[in-house]
Amino acid sequence: MPKSLAEVEEGRTVRIVDVVAGRGAAAMLYNLGLRPGARVEVIRSGPGPVVVRTEGGTFSIGRGLAFKVLVEEEE
């Protein structure tokens, strides 16, 4: 069952299944490489921004945006 990127524990790798955001926010996330099918490693997920690593690099996104990215854990 999908959950948001903001709910993923640090050190886990997940696969994005959907981005549920407005056009502008979705475009920004897609430009960062956060699009369906992409693999993402969560580096930090405490209070404040979520730090992730993708094929495009390591960066942080606000928790509000992270809740709009739906993911599934990799097995």
How many Å apart are CA 50 and CA 37, to the nearest integer? 19
What was the pLDDT predicted at 56?
A: 83
Cα–Cα distance for residue pair 18/60, rounded to 1 Å: 19
Q: What is the pTM of this model?
A: 0.92
Residue 55 contacts by C-beta under 8 Å, 6 or more apart in sequence? Answer: 33, 38, 39
> What's domain 3-73's architecture?
Roll (2.30)
DSSP 7: G
Share of the chain above pLDDT 90, in %: 88
Mean pLDDT calculated for residue range 38-57: 93
